[in-house]
């Protein structure tokens, strides 16, 4: 569908292209005026301007907006650099797409130097139903490198006004809250948490780069039956042991007691199934150890002193260990929320909704909500004994957060298995009358599986985050030693740690968040192909070359001539560089860091071809050598910026 707007009757208003139209149907694009890399956007305005001119000549009142013009990459390099399909305008202009393309190409038949030293961007030609634009390589090369070397990169222009993240009527940087990680205090972080953490951190960095004001928050699930399970096992079997006395990291120590409880529950369940011929779920519900854990939860909610002291001690152990893992992996938060401090707020809101008739009491006393009209069924909000469930906490927490830090959008980074939960949560908040409820978003991501199958925390079949990073680090360290690079890298242990994090983070982000993935540690550490270490190696390779150049400066220093960068290989690399801001913007809009990862891999491959095909230090002239060095510097600048956005440590040496 074509986006149009109406021109007032009798008005001669006509949207013009970015440049000014001059004699000979040339469009002049000022390449030094702050938009020099936005060739695609500039040509969108040109195409929109010409289509609007045609509409005005027809006497039509409709006009198209440049933002709605589709720009594509032609299937073959020989066809041009940007392609504009004309299908969408056939109905408006009452012509076939090939006719429209031919008409526009005739109007835009050439581009040349404009008065005052400005530079034309290129020429347009018709190819069937497409208008294909061929940019002037020499002028574009100079514009791209001049801008990239002298201005910040990875900061898409005007993105802050994107309606994807702003409520209607607001036109300033959006305030976006991102919730991620959301750990339980009964076990350490595992591989599944790592995907959540890196998605949340990367999305937050990308949104910030695009102009948003971002607040990263983490809800610590520090109460509930799952917490009481590890507490009960420790209380009954712990013998006053501590992480220090057991020689274990504190969160791993607590996790062992959760596994111990699950083991005991399994034994009692099997015994009841055999002795009383019960089904598994009936036997588990009747297990004495589960009843004692439920009683422990009731004691905690009543504020029993002994229970609260035990709860605080074990939570402190877990949180202390988790924060060490966050620091190790580069994850940070602006604020922590604790379920134990917010779940009562949810109960208060449920009470208010009950008084207003939004909710109702079931025959057993449980508080319910009817969402049949939303095709979500009926949902319990408070159990018959008055205890809370997850939805209770999330209702209160969302309300509390908006009062605490009014947001334009709240993004929950939570696994796809919770899709129903968030549909219910958002529907309930809308029923309660909160206008910001429509701005809540569930960034649903797929499960991380192992070659051996699905992880199960209660059975201890997990890959703990710390253990996984340790094993990746040790593998990287082994590679460094095999290649005898210990002295070259300076600190083999530190370098191996950064390679491990680069491998892990890139692997977890290289797949679209919405897909399940299979994590393969050895594959993630490969120095060939689409991996983090390959990208890190490319950055280290460029850094090494530039260090050698800086150590041996030419006398006198030669000025670079960017217009010499006009070979096919150089042009491919330059075009890829110029697409960086668009790649960042696309990753933000889609909330998908894998788009940025794909861009990085393509950039690295383009640089590898350039490095192979175009001698840098041994170029034909000093001016060309200097230009190619600056091209390498621009690539390095983008790599460093993008590495930060997707949480890959940069290495000067590998």
DSSP state of 642: H
- Given a cut of 50, whether residue 393 has pLDDT beyond it is yes
Instruction: Name the segment(s) of the chain with CATH classification 3.30.1360.70.
Output: 4-135
Q: Report how far residue 331's alpha carbon sits from residue 335's, in angstroms, rounded to the nearest whole number.
A: 12
Lowest mean pLDDT among 138-142, 165-169, 289-293, 363-367: 165-169
Q: Report how far residue 455's alpha carbon sits from residue 314's, in angstroms, rounded to the nearest whole number.
A: 24
CA dihedral 579, 583, 584, 589 (to 10 degrees): 140
Q: In what order do the strands lie in the sheet with 82-85?
A: 82-85, 130-135, 122-127
| CATH architecture classification, 503-645 | Orthogonal Bundle (1.10)
CATH number of 4-135: 3.30.1360.70
Which bin fits 60, alpha (ψ -120 to 50), beta or left (φ > 0)? beta
Mean pLDDT of 51-73: 94
Lowest mean pLDDT among 55-69, 147-161, 336-350: 147-161
- Given a cut of 60, whether residue 645 has pLDDT beyond it is yes
Instruction: State both tokens at 431.
Output: 């029923």
Q: Report how far residue 200's alpha carbon sits from residue 513's, in angstroms, rounded to the nearest whole number.
A: 11
Mean pLDDT of 304-329: 98
DSSP state of 117: G
Query: Which of these, 505, 632, 517, 649, lies nearest to 574 by C-alpha position?
Result: 632
> Averaging pLDDT over each range in 2-11, 411-420, 448-457, 522-531, which range is the top one?
411-420
7: number of Cβ within 10 Å: 18
Instruction: Name the segment(s) of the chain with CATH classification 1.10.730.10.
Output: 503-645
Q: Report how far residue 20's alpha carbon sits from residue 120's, in angstroms, rounded to the nearest whole number.
A: 11
216, 204 Cβ separation under 8 angstroms: yes
Instruction: State both tokens at 491.
Output: 């600190």
Please tell me the predicted confidence (pLDDT) of residue 153: 86
- Given a cut of 60, whether residue 114 has pLDDT beyond it is no
Q: Report how far residue 644's alpha carbon sits from residue 559's, in angstroms, rounded to the nearest whole number.
A: 31
Query: Which of these, 636, 647, 633, 631, lies nearest to 597 by C-alpha position?
Result: 647
546, 633 Cβ separation under 8 angstroms: yes
Q: Report how far residue 408's alpha carbon sits from residue 335's, in angstroms, rounded to the nearest whole number.
A: 18
Mean pLDDT of 305-334: 98
* Mean pLDDT rounded to a whole number for the chain: 88
Which residues have CB under 8 Å from 316's CB, separation 6+? none
Please tell me the predicted confidence (pLDDT) of residue 165: 67
Q: Report the percent of the chain where pLDDT is more than 90.
A: 76
215, 243 Cβ separation under 8 angstroms: no
**pLDDT tens profile 159-192:** 544 556 666 666 678 999 999 999 999 999 999 8
Instruction: Name the segment(s) of the chain with CATH classification 3.40.50.620.
Output: 185-219+334-463
Please tell me the predicted confidence (pLDDT) of residue 32: 31
Please tell me the predicted confidence (pLDDT) of residue 516: 93
From residue 635, how far is each of 543, 586, 614, 648 by CA, in Å?
A: 10, 20, 15, 16
Q: Is 85 helix (H, G, I), strand (E, B) or coil?
A: strand
Band of pLDDT at residue 554, cut at 50, 70 and 90 = low
- Given a cut of 80, whether residue 363 has pLDDT beyond it is yes
Superfamily of domain 185-219+334-463: HUPs (3.40.50.620)
Band of pLDDT at residue 11, cut at 50, 70 and 90 = very low
Lowest mean pLDDT among 115-119, 374-378, 441-445: 115-119
Mean pLDDT of 525-551: 93
Lowest mean pLDDT among 227-241, 341-355, 527-541, 591-605: 341-355
Please tell me the predicted confidence (pLDDT) of residue 452: 66
121, 143 Cβ separation under 8 angstroms: no
- Given a cut of 60, whether residue 13 has pLDDT beyond it is no
Please tell me the predicted confidence (pLDDT) of residue 580: 94
Please tell me the predicted confidence (pLDDT) of residue 107: 86
Please tell me the predicted confidence (pLDDT) of residue 446: 94
Please tell me the predicted confidence (pLDDT) of residue 550: 77
- Given a cut of 60, whether residue 506 has pLDDT beyond it is yes
- In this structure, are strands 335-338 and 213-220 parallel, antiparallel, or unpaired? parallel
Mean pLDDT of 196-217: 96
Q: Any idea which residue has 């253990």 for tokens? A: 467
Please tell me the predicted confidence (pLDDT) of residue 167: 62
Please tell me the predicted confidence (pLDDT) of residue 72: 92
């Amino acid at each position: 569908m074509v986006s149009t707007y109406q021109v007032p009757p009798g008005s001669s208003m006509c949207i013009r292209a970015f440049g000014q139209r001059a004699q000979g149907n040339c469009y002049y694009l000022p390449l030094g005026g702050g938009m020099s890399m936005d060739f695609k956007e500039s040509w969108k305005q040109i195409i929109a301007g010409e289509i609007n001119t045609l509409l005005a000549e027809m006497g039509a009142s409709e006009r198209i907006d440049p933002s709605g013009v589709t720009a594509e990459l032609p299937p073959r390099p020989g066809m041009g650099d940007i392609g504009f399909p004309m299908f969408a305008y056939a109905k408006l202009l009452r012509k076939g797409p090939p006719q429209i393309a031919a008409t526009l190409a005739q109007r835009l038949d050439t581009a040349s130097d404009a008065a005052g030293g400005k530079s034309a961007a290129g020429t347009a030609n018709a190819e069937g139903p497409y208008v294909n634009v061929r940019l002037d390589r020499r002028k574009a090369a100079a514009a791209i490198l001049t801008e990239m070397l002298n201005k910040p990169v990875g900061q898409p222009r005007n993105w802050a006004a994107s309606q994807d993240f702003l409520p209607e009527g607001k036109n300033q940087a959006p305030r976006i809250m991102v919730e991620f990680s959301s750990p339980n205090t009964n076990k350490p972080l595992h591989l599944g948490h790592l995907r959540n953490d890196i998605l949340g951190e990367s999305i937050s960095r990308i949104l910030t780069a695009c102009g948003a004001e971002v607040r990263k928050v983490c809800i610590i699930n520090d109460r509930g039956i799952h917490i009481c399970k590890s507490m009960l096992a420790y209380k009954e079997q712990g013998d006053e042991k501590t992480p220090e006395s057991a020689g274990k990291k504190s969160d791993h120590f607590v996790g062992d007691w959760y596994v111990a409880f699950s083991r005991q529950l399994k034994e009692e369940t099997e015994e009841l199934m055999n002795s009383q011929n019960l089904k598994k779920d009936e036997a588990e519900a009747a297990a004495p150890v589960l009843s004692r854990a439920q009683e422990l939860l009731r004691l905690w909610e009543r504020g029993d002193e002994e229970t609260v002291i035990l709860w605080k001690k074990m939570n402190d152990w877990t949180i202390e260990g988790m924060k060490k893992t966050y620091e190790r992996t580069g994850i940070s938060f602006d604020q922590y929320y604790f379920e134990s401090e917010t779940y009562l707020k949810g109960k208060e809101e449920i009470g208010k909704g009950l008084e207003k008739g939004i909710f109702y009491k079931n025959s057993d006393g449980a508080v319910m909500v009817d969402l049949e009209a939303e095709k979500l069924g009926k949902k319990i909000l408070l159990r018959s004994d008055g205890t809370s469930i997850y939805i209770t906490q999330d209702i209160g927490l969302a309300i509390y957060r908006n009062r605490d830090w009014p947001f334009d959008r709240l993004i929950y980074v939570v696994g796809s298995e919770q899709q129903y939960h968030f549909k219910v949560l958002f529907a309930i908040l809308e029923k309660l009358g909160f206008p910001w409820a429509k701005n809540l978003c569930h960034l649903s991501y797929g499960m991380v599986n192992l070659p051996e199958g699905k992880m199960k925390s209660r059975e201890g079949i997990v890959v703990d985050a710390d253990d996984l990073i340790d094993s990746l680090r040790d593998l990287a360290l082994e590679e460094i030693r095999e290649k005898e690079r210990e002295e070259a890298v300076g600190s083999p242990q530190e370098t191996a740690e950064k390679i491990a994090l680069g491998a892990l983070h890139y692997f977890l982000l290289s797949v679209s968040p919405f897909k399940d993935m299979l994590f393969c540690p050895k594959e993630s550490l490969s120095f060939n192909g689409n991996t983090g270490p390959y990208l890190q190696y490319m950055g280290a390779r460029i850094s090494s070359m530039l260090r050698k150049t800086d150590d041996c400066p030419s006398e006198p220093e030669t000025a670079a001539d960017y217009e010499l960068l006009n070979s096919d290989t150089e042009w491919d690399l330059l075009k890829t560089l110029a697409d960086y801001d668009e790649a960042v913007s696309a990753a933000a809009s889609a909330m998908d860091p894998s788009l940025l990862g794909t861009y990085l891999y393509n950039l690295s491959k383009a640089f590898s071809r350039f490095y192979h095909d175009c001698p840098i230090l041994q170029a034909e002239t000093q001016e060309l050598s200097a230009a190619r060095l600056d091209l390498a510097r621009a690539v390095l600048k983008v790599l460093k910026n993008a590495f930060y956005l997707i949480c890959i440590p940069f290495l000067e040496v590998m």
